[in-house]
A and B are shown apart, each in its own frame.
Chain A
Amino acid sequence: MTTTIDKGTAPGALTHLDALEAESVHIFREVAGEFEKPVILFSGGKDSIVMLHLARKAFWPAPVPFALLHVDTGHNFPEVIEYRDRVVAEHNLRLHVASVQDFIDNGRLRERPDGTRNPLQTVPLLEAIESNRFDAVFGGGRRDEEKARAKERVFSLRDEFGAWDPRRQRPELWQLYNGRHRVGEHVRVFPISNWTELDVWQYIEREAIALPQIYFSHERDVFERDGMWLSPGEWGGPKGDEEVVRRVVRYRTVGDMSCTGAVDSPATTVADVIAEIAVSRLTERGATRADDKMSEAAMEDRKREGYF
């Protein structure tokens, strides 16, 4: 690799992807320099895949100095778990799994009437952070996703209950990130805060990053609920007069199967996806997440409780 000589970029400005990449790498290196035991939240979704790619570049040629943590809802897309395990093996990473199913089985969590397990992830996440003594937790959250996230810091201090208090956030100036915290507290770190959905996809294209196949067009049995195409499953669907149909769809986001909707799409390549979202009139969460439709402040409320 070091035999490839590029002439470098000076003078002339950085492209937006270069600028975003350099900023994210800076954030990863700050955490490596200032924390004892960081961990990367890895769901197998595109944002966490891009985070891992950035971490690998940040520390090249050394290995990524962090483990991965997957909060497993038990309602996973099989393609995503397969992808996760392949990546972990390929790059010789360490993976921790915090299982929502285990918490349900031992009675510490109870299944919700609507069957969705997204809000149930918070307790296993906090317990994994506490028992492993993780002091920095990287998340793939982006400020463009949602209006409460637009107010989130890159370094976001959480108390011993994992709670986010938007009124007591530290001002974040220049590129000076303050990761100081007391025993029992931890810091959530969002290295791709300033990326948009389109940036993520353009970067995936530029870097030729492989993704789970469900991000691309495929045929799938689905049923319609609240204007979204959901996959049938033990979590409660289809119900009543909801009808299962076979459609050509893809996923714009990857989360808990019970509440992540697919969109009609013929996009089979990254370039197709970029063309599709460039003209989309819906945000990715608006199009695909049932849990965000609950109220105006659904995300703020979940974040206050310690959610990602």
Chain B
Amino acid sequence: MSGTSEISPDALSSADERVGLLRLATAGSVDDGKSTLVGRLLHDSKSVLTDQLEAVTRVSNERGQEEADLALLTDGLRAEREQGITIDVAYRYFATARRRFILADTPGHVQYTRNMVTGASTAELAVVLVDARNGVVEQTRRHAAVAALLRVPHVVLAVNKMDLVDYSEERFAEVANTFTEYAKALGVPDVRSIPVSALRGDNVVDPSSHMDWFSGPTLLEYLETVPVETDPTLEPARFPVQYVLRPQSDDEYRDYRGYAGQVASGVFREGDEVVVLPSGQRTSVAGIDRLGVAVRQARQGESITLRLADDVDISRGDLIAPVDSAPRPTQDIEATVCHVADRPLRTGDRVLLKHTTRTVKAIVKDIAYRLDLNAPIDGVLGHEQHLSELRANDIARVVLRTAQPLALDDYAIGRRTGSFLLIDEADGSTLTAGMAGAAFAAPGRCHS
């Protein structure tokens, strides 16, 4: 094995490696043809290999189906195969010459909302499916609301089964307009609609010969080209400290002291004046090491080690941010949460709250109300306020109080520094996923 020191920066920029990564989530049910669509994407992009297809065909035939059931490619658990539904999030991988894709394939039914939220949490793009015959239904609105809540920046509506509406341009326009208006009202910044037939392969990978009226890209072309890279220099820089590196060896690194972590957002540069939160100590960036190579700056997503100019007291859980744009530490949090555990969360519960690399104690002060994801703009589900408990899959507004101050951002500003988990202190299970600040980005319609 080569030593880390032998890696030259030049090796990192060879042309064939300039391939980016896109993380996307799909939401929809079997009825919308979601598994067929995912199967089609994998199959037509040649990401399904012969032995996988043979296995699927064999099982399909044993069940008396004539054609390979592409849903079996993604429904990997025994229980899913037996019930013929997607239960858990499955991660799928495919690649084209332009991009690598990590697809979180999530179930569409309301009782699996938590799985959809999980898949959307890391997605830069969400594909929402509708059946062209049914148009925008309750489930579609819920999927759009989940994408909007999780601040997924790009949403694609795949209007499926176009073959069953005679490839009608009018029908597509009607569905696309209804959806776009709805998603925009929820604050989704980028909405795009594409007419497809997953079953027949129209506009999934290859352009359709049945829809000359549609001049846009196929779904795969769009996934390959949608610009998901944001300019990190426009975002506030955030660095949660994961681990303190002190080799204390006898060599040249005897006095090395570095703070290891992944840049959560923005850019850090050598010389930046920074503050360490929650203590408030100030210092500056003396140097940045990117896994063994000294660099002048580092951007969002990079795992690095910061060296600081002064000998300040820093440990895991601290947040390093620029002096002029640091968040104000707080012990009172208003947030939107999705309850993910089977056991309820009750007002007054004492739990652990994990935010970036910091875990603190917290109390559930109030469960203000549940959000109706089928009509989120109008708001409150069942008109109940100050509930006593949340159940699995509930989305709600809550008020929390933490034992120590947290350097928390609004989720709208940073998905990474605005999100947290509530954890059961007794058995360690994950109870609830939270997003600080207002629920939706919709102007003037925020739930606060």
Minimum Cβ distance to chain A for residue B174 (Å) = 35
For window 1-21 of A, CB contacts with B under 8 Å fall at 1-21
Cross-chain contact B289 with A60 (CB below 8 angstroms) = yes
Cross-chain contact B354 with A178 (CB below 8 angstroms) = yes
Cross-chain contact B77 with A300 (CB below 8 angstroms) = yes
Inter-chain CA distance A16–B294, complex, in Å, is: 21
Minimum Cβ distance to chain A for residue B319 (Å) = 14
Task: Bin the interface of chain B by size.
Answer: 35 or more
With A8-B296, A178-B354, A297-B78 as given contacts, are A144 and B93 in contact (CB-CB < 8 Å)? Answer: yes
- B55 located at the interface, meaning its Cβ lies under 8 Å from any Cβ of chain A in the complex: yes
Cross-chain contact B303 with A171 (CB below 8 angstroms) = no
- B102 located at the interface, meaning its Cβ lies under 8 Å from any Cβ of chain A in the complex: yes
With A13-B229, A170-B430, A175-B262 as given contacts, are A61 and B247 in contact (CB-CB < 8 Å)? Answer: yes
Most buried by A among B289, B302, B357: B302
Cross-chain contact B19 with A15 (CB below 8 angstroms) = yes
Which of A20, A29, A57, A182 lies in contact with B428, CB distance below 8 A?
A182
Cross-chain contact A15 with B4 (CB below 8 angstroms) = no
- A97 located at the interface, meaning its Cβ lies under 8 Å from any Cβ of chain B in the complex: no
- B50 located at the interface, meaning its Cβ lies under 8 Å from any Cβ of chain A in the complex: yes
Q: Which of B117-125, B377-385, B395-403 binds A?
A: B117-125
CB nearest neighbor in B for A167: B79
Contact flags A162-196 to B (C-beta < 8 A → 1, else 0): 00001101111111101011100000000001101
Cross-chain contact B243 with A148 (CB below 8 angstroms) = no
B11 contacts which chain A residues (CB < 8 A)?
206
CB nearest neighbor in B for A179: B428
With A10-B267, A194-B102, A196-B93 as given contacts, are A286 and B52 in contact (CB-CB < 8 Å)? Answer: yes
With A10-B232, A33-B357 as given contacts, are A173 and B102 in contact (CB-CB < 8 Å)? Answer: no
With A4-B293, A8-B296, A151-B90 as given contacts, are A171 and B1 in contact (CB-CB < 8 Å)? Answer: no
For window 125-175 of A, CB contacts with B under 8 Å fall at 143-144, 146-151, 157, 166-167, 169-175
A198 contacts which chain B residues (CB < 8 A)?
95
- A104 located at the interface, meaning its Cβ lies under 8 Å from any Cβ of chain B in the complex: no
- B212 located at the interface, meaning its Cβ lies under 8 Å from any Cβ of chain A in the complex: no
Cross-chain contact B233 with A11 (CB below 8 angstroms) = yes
Inter-chain CA distance A294–B303, complex, in Å, is: 41
Q: Which of B327-335, B418-426, B436-444 binds A?
A: B418-426
With A33-B242, A196-B95, A282-B51 as given contacts, are A12 and B293 in contact (CB-CB < 8 Å)? Answer: no
Chain A residues within 8 Å of chain B by Cβ, number? 86
- The total of interchain contacts (Cβ-Cβ below 8 angstroms) comes to 259
Inter-chain CA distance A217–B12, complex, in Å, is: 27
A39 contacts which chain B residues (CB < 8 A)?
none
Cross-chain contact B121 with A26 (CB below 8 angstroms) = no
Which of B1, B4, B115 lies in contact with A60, CB distance below 8 A?
B4
- B295 located at the interface, meaning its Cβ lies under 8 Å from any Cβ of chain A in the complex: yes
With A29-B303, A62-B246 as given contacts, are A57 and B292 in contact (CB-CB < 8 Å)? Answer: yes
CB nearest neighbor in A for B53: A281
Inter-chain CA distance A62–B189, complex, in Å, is: 44
B99 contacts which chain A residues (CB < 8 A)?
16
Cross-chain contact B242 with A173 (CB below 8 angstroms) = no
- A302 located at the interface, meaning its Cβ lies under 8 Å from any Cβ of chain B in the complex: no
For window 194-211 of A, CB contacts with B under 8 Å fall at 194, 196, 198-199, 202, 206-210
With A4-B293, A7-B295, A9-B299 as given contacts, are A202 and B93 in contact (CB-CB < 8 Å)? Answer: no
- A290 located at the interface, meaning its Cβ lies under 8 Å from any Cβ of chain B in the complex: no
Cross-chain contact A2 with B21 (CB below 8 angstroms) = no
B294 contacts which chain A residues (CB < 8 A)?
1-6
With A7-B296, A26-B303, A56-B4 as given contacts, are A180 and B428 in contact (CB-CB < 8 Å)? Answer: yes
- B6 located at the interface, meaning its Cβ lies under 8 Å from any Cβ of chain A in the complex: yes
B51 contacts which chain A residues (CB < 8 A)?
282-283, 286-287
Cross-chain contact B18 with A15 (CB below 8 angstroms) = yes
Cross-chain contact A12 with B229 (CB below 8 angstroms) = yes
Contact flags A47-77 to B (C-beta < 8 A → 1, else 0): 0010011001111111100000000000000
Cross-chain contact B247 with A63 (CB below 8 angstroms) = yes
- List the 8 closest pairs (A to B, CB-CB), nearest first: A180-B428, A286-B51, A147-B76, A10-B299, A6-B9, A8-B297, A25-B303, A13-B229
Measuring CB to CB, which residues of chain A are less than 8 angstroms from any residue of chain B?
Answer: 1-23, 25-26, 29-30, 32-33, 49, 52-53, 56-63, 87, 90-91, 143-144, 146-151, 157, 166-167, 169-176, 178, 180-182, 193-194, 196, 198-199, 202, 206-210, 280-283, 286-287, 296-297, 300
Q: List 22 A-B contacts (CB under 8 A).
A: A7-B9, A10-B232, A10-B233, A10-B297, A11-B299, A13-B228, A14-B20, A15-B18, A15-B20, A16-B19, A16-B99, A18-B12, A19-B20, A19-B21, A33-B316, A58-B291, A166-B79, A173-B118, A173-B419, A194-B93, A283-B49, A286-B51
Extra A-B contacts (4), CB below 8 Å, given A149-B76, A176-B421: A3-B294, A16-B21, A33-B242, A178-B429
